[in-house]
Each structure stands twice: as C-alpha cells, then as structure tokens.
Amino acid sequence: MNGTTLLDPTAETAPADRELTPRKASLDGLTVGLLDISKPRGDVFLDRLEENLGRRGASVLRFAKPTFTKPAPADLRHEIATTCDAVIEALAD
C-alpha cells in the first residue's frame, strides 16, 4: 500500500460471514479446474496433481493466470466457472 498504513474500519472481531459452497460427495465424474498462478515450478506441481486427480476419477482442465500479482481476469474466472465443477489454485509461495 505504498508504505501507508490504513486503519481498519471494521470491528476486527467479525467472524467469516459467508459459508463455503457445498461440496460434492466424491471426485467421480467431476471436472476440476487447475488454476496455475504462474509462479515458477508451480506447473511441475500441477502436472503431478493432475495425474493424481485423474487416477481418482476426476477430469482435469488446466488454466493459467497471466500473472500471480493480480487476481485472474474476469473472463478467465468466467471460463472456469462455466466449464468446471471445482477449482484448485496453486502454487503460491
């Protein structure tokens, strides 16, 4: 934040107030999106993860963010949301 500290306007005690999206019972038949945040070595991790998920019954679609410094572009998020049943984002380090 350009070195400026902003004071928190919230109560700072507020618990998470939204619930996670309900999960499916199993991986079987699920299309899982793997979103590479595009940090070095992440692709090697994701390649292996893809193999593992495939063995467990999931189909995998691969996506990559243009840069790890920003949220994924809206079009990319839309594409993932409309083609996948679940999503894994990796690998932030």
Partner 1 sequence: MHDIDDLERRGLPGVVVASEPFADAAETQARALGLDVARVFTPHPVQDRTDDEMHAMADATVDAIVAALIGS
Partner 2 sequence: MEDEAEAMYERGWTDGLPVVPPTEARVLAMLEGTTRRPDEVVALLPPNLAECTVEKVAVNAVLAGCRPEYLPVVLAAVEAVCTDEFNMHGILATTMGVGPVLVVNGPIADRIGMNSGINALGHGNRANLTIGRALQLVVRNVGGGRPGEVDRATHGSPAKLSFCFAEDETGSPWTTLAEDRGFARDADVVTAFCGEAPRIVVDQKSRSADSLVRALAEGLRSAVSPRTVMGMDAMLVVSPEHVARFRDAGWDRARFMEELGGHLMVEADTILAGAGGIEEGVPEGFAGTTLPKFRPGGLLVVHAGGPAGLFSSVVGGWLNGPMGSEPTSREITP
DSSP category for residue 10: S
Site for partner 2 in 13-52 (CB under 8 A): 13-14, 17-18
Please state the closest distance from residue 2 (CB atom) to partner 1, in A.
18
Please state the closest distance from residue 73 (CB atom) to partner 2, in A.
14
Other C-beta atoms lying within 10 Å of the C-beta of residue 17: 5
Please state the closest distance from residue 76 (CB atom) to partner 2, in A.
17
Q: Which does 81 bind (CB under 5 to 8 A by kind): partner 1, partner 2, none?
A: partner 1
Q: Which helix (H) or strand (E) holds 34?
A: strand 31-36
CA distance 63 to 40: 15
Smallest CA-to-CA distance from 43 within 34, 32, 31, 55 is with: 34
Residue closer to partner 1 by CB (options 2, 23) is: 23
Q: Which does 84 bind (CB under 5 to 8 A by kind): partner 1, partner 2, none?
A: partner 1
Per CB under 8 A, the list member of 38, 59, 64, 86 interacting with partner 1 is 86
CA atoms within 13 A on the CB side of 85: 14
